[in-house]
Structure 1
Amino acid sequence: MIKPKQLKPGDNIAVLSLSTGLPSVFPKVYQQGLKNLKALGFNVIEYPTATMDIDEVFNNPQIRAQDLNRAFGDKNVDGIIATIGGSDSARILKYLDADLIKANPKFIMGYSDFTAVSALIHQLGIVTFNGPSVMAGFAQIHNMSEEYQSYVRSFLFGEWNESELPVFSHFSDGYPDWSKPNSVGQLEPLQINTGPRFYQGDSAKKCKACGPLFGGCIEVLEMLKGTQYWPNQEFWRGKVLFLETSQEKPSIDYVRYWLRNYGVMGVFEQLSGLIFGRARDFSECEKQLLDEVILSVVKGEFGCDKLPIVTNLDFGHTDPQMILPLGINIEIDVQKQKVKALESPFKL
Structure 2
Amino acid sequence: MRPFKSVPKARRGDRVAVISPAFAAPAISPAIHEQALRRLSESTGLIPVEYPTTRQLGASAEARAADIEAAFADPGIRAVMATIGGDDQVTVIPHIDPSIIAANPKPFLGYSDNTNLHNLLWNLGVPSFYGGSTQIHLGAGPGVDDIHLRSLRAALLEGGSIELTQTSESEDFGIPWEDPRALTSFGNREATEAWEWAGPRKAVTARTWGGCIEVIDEIAMAGRMPPLADLEGVILLLESSEELPSALAVKRWLRSLGERGLLQAAAGVLVARPPVSELSAPVPSAGERAALRHEQRDAILGQMALYNPQAVVCVGVPFGHTRPQWIIPHGGSITLDGTSRTVIADYAG
TM-score by length of 1: 0.91
Percent identity over paired residues: 27
Instruction: Give the Cα–Cα distance (whole angstroms) in 1 for the partners of residues 169 and 202 of structure 2.
Output: 28
1:41-120 mapped onto 2 (5 Å cutoff): 41-52=45-56, 54-55=57-58, 57=59, 60-120=60-120
Alignment deviations for residues 154-200 of structure 1 (CA, whole Å, 9 cap, x no partner):
5533352x432233222222111112122235321222222321111
**Which runs of structure 2 are paired with 1:21-60 in the superposition (5 Å)?**
21-40=24-43, 41-52=45-56, 54-55=57-58, 57=59, 60=60
Pairs within 5 Å for 1:212-291: 212-281=207-276, 283-291=289-297
Q: Which of 280, 297, 304 is the aligned partner of 1:298? A: 304
The separation in 1 between residues aligned to 2:302 and 2:159, in whole angstroms, is 41
- Conserved? CA contact 2:155–2:347, under 8 Å: no
Structure 1 residues 144 and 104 mapped into 2: Cα distance closer, same or farther (>3 Å)?
A: closer
Q: Show CA shifts across 1:19-61 (max 9, x none).
A: 0122112212211211211212221111000111x12x1xx10
Contact kept, 8 Å, 1:32 with 1:185, in 2: the verdict is no
- Show the counterpart of 1:6: 9
CA shift, 1:121, in A, is 1.2
Q: Deviations over 1:50-76 (max 9, x none)?
A: 111x12x1xx10010001101111111
Deviation (angstroms), 1:93: 0.6
Q: 1:120 to 1:150 in 2, by over 3 A?
A: closer
* AA aligned opposite 2:85: G
Secondary structure, counterpart of 1:164 in structure 2 = strand
Mean Cα displacement is larger for which, 141-150 or 263-272?
Answer: 141-150
Structure 2 CA distance for aligned equivalents of residues 163 and 149 of structure 1: 12
Tell me whether 1:169 sits opposite 2:168 in the alignment: yes
**TM superposition shift of 1:228:** 3.4
Which secondary structure does the structure 2 equivalent of 1:115 belong to?
A: helix
Label 1:315 to 1:8 Cα distance change in 2 as closer, same or farther (>3 A).
Answer: same
Q: Deviations over 1:268-324 (max 9, x none)?
A: 111100111000126122212222111222213x3x222111100010011111111
**Alpha-carbon separation, structure 1, partners of 2:204 and 2:185:** 38
Q: Is this contact kept in 2: 1:200–1:309, CA < 8 A?
A: yes
Change (3 A) 1:149 1:101: closer
Q: Distance in 2 between matches of 1:123 and 1:163?
A: 26
Contact 2:147 2:325 in 1 (8 A): no
Compute the displacement of 1:12 (Å). 0.3
Q: Shift of the alpha carbon at 1:340?
A: 1.2
> Does the Cα contact within 8 Å between 1:140 and 1:186 map onto a contact in 2?
yes
Instruction: Tell me how far apart the structure 2 counterparts of residues 295 and 84 of structure 1 sit (CA, whole Å).
Output: 29
Q: How many angstroms apart in 1 are the aligned matches of 2:7 and 2:216? A: 24
Q: Does 1:196 align with 2:200?
A: no
The corresponding residue for 2:284 is: none
Deviation string for 1:97-146 (max 9, x for gaps)? 11111111111111111110111112100011111111021113753444
The answer on whether the counterparts of 1:236 and 1:267 sit within 8 Å (CA) in structure 2 is yes
Q: How many residues align?
A: 334
* Distance in 2 of aligned mates of 1:131 and 1:269: 26
Q: 1:229 to 1:154 in 2, by over 3 A?
A: closer
CA 1:159–1:107 in 2, change beyond 3 Å: closer, same or farther? closer
- 2:312–2:338 CA contact under 8 A, matched in 1: yes
Task: Letter of the 1:48 partner, please give it.
Answer: P
1:128 aligns with 2:128: yes
Give 1:335's aligned residue: 339
Structure 1, unaligned runs of 5 or more? none
SS at match of 1:135: helix
| Larger mean Cα displacement after TM superposition, 286-295 or 126-135 | 286-295
Question: C-alpha separation between the residues in 1 aligned to 2:155 and 2:347?
Answer: 10
Moved over 4 A (4+): 144-148
CA contact (8 A) 2:107 2:156 kept: no
Determine the C-alpha separation between the residues in 1 that align with 2:142 and 2:152.
12
Contact 2:208/2:333, CA 8 A, preserved across alignment: yes
User: Structure 2 regions of 5+ residues with no counterpart?
Assistant: 278-288
| TM-score (normalised: structure 2) | 0.90
CA RMSD across the alignment = 1.8
Whether the 8 Å CA contact 1:274–1:308 is kept in 2: the answer is: yes
